[in-house]
Amino acid sequence: MIYLFFFEILIIYLTISICSKNSNIITKFIPAIDYPNKRKLHKKPTPLIGGIILILIIILSLLFNYLFFNSEIYYEILVISLIAFVLGLVDDIRDLSPYLKLSTLFMIIFFFLYLNNQYIIKDIYLMTIDRTFYLKDISIFFTILCLLLLINSSNMTDGISGLFLGIYIIFFSYLEISNLGINIFNFSIIISLIFLLYFNFRNYFFMGDSGVFLLTILFAFQLINSYYSPNNSINSIEEIFILLMLPGIDMFRIFLERLINRKNPFKPDRNHFHHILQTKISNIKLLIFYFGLILFPLILFKLNILQPYKIIILFSFIYLFILFYFKNKIKNL
């Protein structure tokens, strides 16, 4: 069986490699291309085909799982992920307005949760005070809000090659480590993301909204499912917050600054944490540093070195210190 798994990984690698190196053929049929401008630093038009490649990978993984493995797969999550992918792909081609994307995502998620209420966040358990809060009537809207915030924060990390994919390698790996058993399908996705990271970092393609929407929705509903599953050790809202903390805090800070400065909170700029780091350190060092900042509080939590709320407070101060340090260095240039 292990040989079949390695054969699957080989097929996936060849698929990613062939698609990456022949992206011009794909963009002839699907004109999703990111063109350079004053805000974007890449020097040549780059295909936004990461989501398309990821869809092919998922299809291959499903095929192998059907023929050779018996790993648990939640097909309803794959369906909504596919719908989100289509919306993202349309945006990559047509550049939809942020409000249209937001409202469409809201409706897509709402109808999915209406039909699959097992994915609604009905309660949140706070480990710090050992108490569960039941959300009752606001549960479906709370779930939608959490998903939209995660999608938006994930989209903000897709500004530097390798960053978004590296973050989700960590997210999916943490989810898999927290499982009591091995899910071959998820493990295949993790290995595939590592291959995608390699080609993405070399600027063969960008993930685009199609890739961001697809991967974020796929992860988010698996995370919710894990939260309620007895076969997963993730059981507190603090642990989930610590896992998603860095992109989330940066998104909140950016939105707050834009509102204070009376700017459109959805208008993109180069004020993100990774953009500020990019002015002083190379991309490879930036990725290592950023991933380290995600892993650091998770390690503290898993080793039970500090209580969850202390980890959150400590990390918030570390984030603000690094942010202001690099901003001051930029001002002093």
Higher pLDDT, 92 or 72: 92
What integer is the mean pLDDT of 87-104?
A: 91
Alpha helices in 22-138 (DSSP H): 23-29, 50-67, 75-94, 98-115
Rounded to an integer, the average pLDDT of 23-33 is: 87
Specify the 3-state DSSP secondary structure of 44. Answer: coil
Residue 197 has pLDDT above 70, yes or no: yes
Mean pLDDT computed over every residue of the chain: 89
Does position 242 have pLDDT exceeding 90, yes or no?
A: yes
| Residue 232 confidence (pLDDT) | 80
Q: Is the pLDDT of residue 333 over 60?
A: no
Does pTM surpass 0.75?
Answer: yes
Residue 46 pairs in a beta bridge with: 34
Pick the range with the lowest mean pLDDT from 51-55, 116-120, 155-159: 155-159
* pLDDT-based confidence at residue 291 (cuts at 50, 70, 90): very high
In this prediction, residues 169-196 reach a mean pLDDT of 88
Q: Are strands 46-47 and 33-34 parallel, antiparallel or unpaired?
A: antiparallel
As given in the structure block, the two tokens for residue 312 are 């959150």
Cα separation of 247 and 216, whole Å?
Answer: 13
d(CA 41, CA 43): 6
* Across 25-37, average pLDDT: 83
Whether 170 and 288 have beta carbons less than 8 Å apart is answered as: no
d(CA 292, CA 294): 5
CA-to-CA distance for 186 and 172, rounded, in angstroms?
8
What pLDDT is recorded for position 1? 65
The percentage of the chain sitting over the pLDDT mark of 90, rounded to a whole number, equals 54
Asked if 238 contacts 127 with a C-beta cutoff of 8 angstroms, the reply is yes
Q: What is the pLDDT of residue 319?
A: 94
